[in-house]
A and B are shown apart, each in its own frame.
Chain A
Amino acid sequence: MDRSRPYDVLILGGGNAALCAAITARRAGRSVLLLESAPKDFRGGNSRHTRNLRCMHDAPADVLTGTYDEEEYWQDLFKVTGGQTNERLARMTIRHTATCRQWMIEHGVRFQPSLGGTLHVSRTNAFFLGGGKALVNAYYRAAEALGVEIRYDTEVIGLNIRDGRFISAVAASRGIDHEIHGAAVIAAAGGFESNLAWLREAWGSTADNFLVRGTPYNMGRVLRLLLDNEAKSIGDPTQGHCVAIDARAPKFDGGICTRVDCVSLGIVVNEKAQRFYDEGEDYWPKRYAIWGRLVAEQPNQIAYSIIDVKSMGKFIPPVYPPFKGQSLRELALALHLDPAAFEATVAQFNAALRPGTFDHTVLDDCATQGLVPPKTHWARAIDTPPFFAYPLRPGITFTYLGVTVNERAQVILSDDRPATNIFAAGEIMAGNVLGNGYIAGIGMAIGTTFGHIAGREAARHVGT
């Protein structure tokens, strides 16, 4: 990297949004430098763990079945966010997903039909062949071929912003700090979900028992620098998207395979061997996102999903083997639960079952009666050994806190003025569209859309 020379566009971050921005700005003829804090092997932030893009389409299109129009997409988004969304930016995003797949294919991304176990999203979501890391690899190849300069292991530790105008960034690489000037900057460095100290600020000591599902490199440094430089924040600083994952997963980067999909088939107890929520409230894909928070509220942030042999083999096999017991007592001992309390909880549950016809594919009539909390569907007796358990912990996926942007992806300052040459894309501004909740494939939709907009607008700014 030629430190004496100013770049037209400086990109902070190295995931999907950063790459879409870098490629777009470079194709507009600008010189582009991309700074990725991770080493090359772990490049791409949380994009490397993603797998699909939620796409609007008015007719069946290659890997997408049926239709998914703007209005339905918007309603889905409105519902999950509870209205915490900017309709204008949200509709821009939705409309962009109708056309961006061609751009993605031109830059090396390949799509595949929806994966086994994901038929419920075959209409709405286009899956990347090989997943997000394959997409990230393709974009890096495309960016390099176009002449985007890329620096790995390079973390931005300072931003020189005067009167809402970006002057330069200070980047640390191999222990040496460099000042890099750019005519425009695009912040696309993700949220703060890997920053354990920051998580503790938001959640207190319960955060110590959280697992981070994605990259260990999303430290939120660029987000913090922008907020400290008068960027207007958006999104609840104390909220994150959290799912229940296998407690044996690594602290970071466990990704998709740490999921446990049998909650709705059995019961879930905490370390006191007590149930605490309706496991059969709704279809699992609609409910897994609330279970992270539910487990986080339990003592020591741990819970156990319990099934018997009737349910074995009826869900995507988790990566870790289950704890197993020939009796409930044996299973309780394996889990270090009080055997008497555990047996009582199961007995109480089994006694509260009313007759019904079990069918996991519909909201069936198998439910408990007079039990608190109830189980309202798929309630079947846990009575056939062997019994199995998967331990659960909260697994944080992303945080909602971000910077406010306008439709040109410009960062809005605390006095509501847009910063002329500071742009943001991806998770760092996703809270503008997704202020709460989650629907599959929306993160990549926001990152791709605002990556393109930020790249285009930054290039246009430099050109003037």
Chain B
Amino acid sequence: MSAPSPIAAGLVQEGQRMASICNACRYCEGYCAVFPALERRLSFSEGDLAYLSNLCHDCGACYYACQYAPPHEFQLNLPKMMSEIRAATYRKYAWPGFLVALFERNGLVVSVITMACIVLFLLGMIVFVDAQALLAVHADSNGAFYALLSHGAMVRIFGAVFALALAMLLVAAARFWRDIGEQAGTILSAGPLGRSIDAALRLTYLRGGGDGCAYSDDQPSPARRTYHQITFYGFLFCFAATCVATVYHYALGRHAPYAWWSLPTLLGTAGGIALLIGPAGLLALKARRDAVLTNEKQVGMDVGFLAQLLIVSGTGLLLLALRGSAAMGILLALHLGAVMAFFITLPYGKFVHAVYRFTALVRYYVERRRPVPELGPE
């Protein structure tokens, strides 16, 4: 007998009830991809709900437009229901499955892992290098970082953990893809893939139909999409900085630390600043969000992830500013510990939303190429 699905039967039933109301009403069709996807169906399986809830960007526009929203007796709150199912899908598809407990009290889990990683890096430097070097002032130009942790060791440790996290995320995405009813091969369709990348890069479906998400009542505002974009592109810039630095190191033989005007440093600095502004803005918005839309069980994970990004970018920028001072050693341990914790928790934290949402978007565009069941006029 297979284990019970992490998506509770009652939640699936509630999802089916709500989706059936939406399918009969259809007023929200123009808001996002969820409604056209929903209208292709006559009934909703657990896999359908897993797909639709990850396609939902949680802008909340449909809730405020809904004639059936509470206190109406139909008690329709689609975004919140989808948030609950979405959280359950993270547990359902995570691989390896024995680690899904990490999703429970995720904010705490992430904090503990972050602390542990920082302590390990500090201890490691004390044990394997020495406490004096950790607190010494290093000249900026002589590869000071690597006096504390060799470049080779850094690449091996971080490369291995990142590769493992990436593999786990790919397996999870594949499990999701199969469960929502797609064949393995279809995910590589060039057209849908291109359109999904475009929708992700532009966050097409976090626009609330054009005017933005509602903060803090039904007043639409572009703020959430803007802060999310700053966060997302900040992350991409930091990732690009790492890639460029890798090319510099191995292909060009130019070793860190790099001057402030060098490409890796400029990219990293811009990305780091964006990763301070974006997550801080998102945290501030979260506090102002209408309570009716908030899935309380999800708050720990969301806040934990944003805090993690703030710590990574904050320590990174401090390290850049103070790398010539005696604080460098401690800051390096802090930053490396924070980054390591970020990598470790990638498959078991809020980051997974990007994987599932993108996969759901590909499914949406794959599905759009198939004929719609023909219905008579209403």
Q: How many Å lie between the Cα of A285 and that of B376 in the bound state?
A: 10
Residue contact B21 to A319, C-beta cutoff 8 Å: yes
Instruction: Give every chain B residue within 8 A of A460 (Cβ-Cβ).
Output: none
Residues of A contacting B142 with CB < 8 Å?
none
Q: Which of A243-296 contact B (CB under 8 A)?
A: 250, 253, 255-259, 261, 264-265, 283-285
Given A314-B375, A317-B20: A133 touches B66 (CB 8 Å cut-off): yes
Q: Contact: A132 with B375, CB < 8 Å?
A: no
Number of interface residues of A (CB under 8 A): 47
Residues from chain B with a CB closer than 8 A to the CB of A117 are 26, 375-378
A→B interface (CB under 8 Å): 41-42, 48-49, 51, 108, 110, 112-113, 115-120, 127-134, 137, 141, 250, 253, 255-259, 261, 264-265, 283-285, 313-319, 360-361
Say whether B216 faces chain A, with CB atoms less than 8 Å apart: no
Residue among B25, B67, B373, B376 with the highest chain A CB neighbour number at 10 A:
B67
Partner of A110, one of B25, B71, B211: B211
Scan residues 191-246 of chain B and give those whose CB is less than 8 A from a CB of chain A. 209-211, 218-219
Residues of A within 8 A of B218 (CB): 137, 141
The 4 closest A-B CB pairs, nearest first, are A112-B30, A130-B65, A131-B27, A257-B24
Known A110-B211, A313-B42, A319-B24; judge A265-B376 contact (CB<8 A): yes
With A132-B67, A134-B27, A313-B373 known, 13 other A-B pairs at CB within 8 A are: A49-B67, A110-B210, A112-B29, A112-B30, A130-B30, A130-B61, A253-B67, A253-B72, A257-B24, A257-B25, A257-B68, A261-B377, A317-B42
Q: Assess whether B21 is in contact with A134, with CB atoms less than 8 Å apart.
A: no
Contact, CB under 8 Å: A134 / B24: no
From residue A434, how far is it (CB to closest CB) to chain B in Å?
Answer: 21
Q: Are B71 and A115 in contact (CB under 8 A)?
A: no
Q: What residue in chain A is nearest B66 (Cβ atoms)?
A: A133
Contact A261/B219 with A256-B25, A316-B24, A319-B20 known, Cβ cut-off 8 Å: no
Which of B21, B26, B64 has the most chain A CB atoms inside 10 A of its CB? B26
Q: Is the CB of A133 within 8 A of B378?
A: no
- What's the minimum C-beta distance from B45 to chain A, rounded to whole angstroms? 14
- Compute how far the CA of A258 lies from the CA of B65 in the bound complex, rounded to whole angstroms: 18
Is the pair A51, B27 in contact by a Cβ cutoff of 8 Å? yes
B345: shortest Cβ distance to chain A, in Å? 37
Give chain B residues whose Cβ lies under 8 Å from the Cβ of A112. 29-30, 209
Q: CA–CA, A51 to B67, complex, Å? A: 11
Q: Which chain B residues border A314 with CB–CB below 8 Å?
A: 374-376
Q: Mark B1-21, 1 if CB is under 8 A from A, else 0.
A: 000000000000000000011
- What residue of chain B has the Cβ atom nearest to residue A265's Cβ? B376
The reply to whether B30 and A317 contact each other, CB–CB distance below 8 Å, is no
B23 within 8 Å of A (CB atoms): yes
Complexed CA–CA distance, A314 and B25 (Å) = 16
Q: Is B31 an interface residue (CB 8 A)?
A: yes
Query: Taking the nearest CB of chain A, how far is it from the CB of B288, in angstroms?
Result: 17
Of the residues B20, B28, B378, contact of A285 by C-beta under 8 Å: B378
CB distance from A145 to the nearest CB of B (A): 10
Quick check: A115 and B20 within 8 Å, CB to CB? no
Q: Which residue of A lies closest to B62 (CB)?
A: A130
* Cα-based distance from A120 to B210 in the complex (angstroms): 26
Q: CB-CB contacts of B364-378 with A at 8 A, as 1s and 0s?
A: 000000001111111
Q: Is the CB of A130 within 8 A of B28?
A: yes
> What's the least CB distance linking B95 to chain A, in Å?
35
B17 (CB) vs chain A CBs: closest residue: A319
Pair A315/B375 contact, Cβ less than 8 Å? yes
Q: Are B23 and A141 in contact (CB under 8 A)?
A: no
Q: Are A261 and B28 in contact (CB under 8 A)?
A: no
Known: A129-B210, A131-B28, A316-B24. A48 touches B67 (CB 8 A): yes
Q: Mark B237-281, 1 if CB is under 8 A from A, else 0.
A: 000000000000000000000000000000000000000000000
B302 within 8 A of partner (CB): no
Task: For B377, list chain A residues within 8 Å (CB).
Answer: 117-120, 261, 283-285
Q: Which residues of B contact A116 (CB under 8 A)?
A: 26, 29, 36, 39, 372, 375
Q: Once bound together, how far apart are the Cα atoms of A42 and B374, in whole Å?
A: 35
In angstroms, Cα B20 to Cα A318, docked, is 8
Some 19 contacts from A to B, beta carbons below 8 A apart, are: A48-B67, A51-B27, A110-B209, A112-B209, A116-B372, A117-B26, A129-B210, A130-B28, A130-B61, A133-B64, A134-B64, A137-B218, A257-B68, A261-B378, A313-B42, A315-B378, A318-B24, A319-B25, A361-B376
**B375: which A residues are within 8 A, CB to CB?**
116-117, 313-316
Assembly CA distance A318 to B66 (angstroms): 17
Do A316 and B65 have beta carbons less than 8 Å apart? no
How far apart are B17's CB and chain A's nearest CB, in angstroms?
A: 9
Please state if A130 and B209 are interface contacts (CB–CB under 8 Å): yes
A131 CB contacts on chain B under 8 angstroms? 25, 27-28, 65, 67
Q: Which residue of A lies closest to B38 (CB)?
A: A116
CA distance A283 to B378 in the complex (A): 9
Chain A contacts for B62, CB-based, 8 A = 130
B48 CB to nearest chain A CB (Å): 13
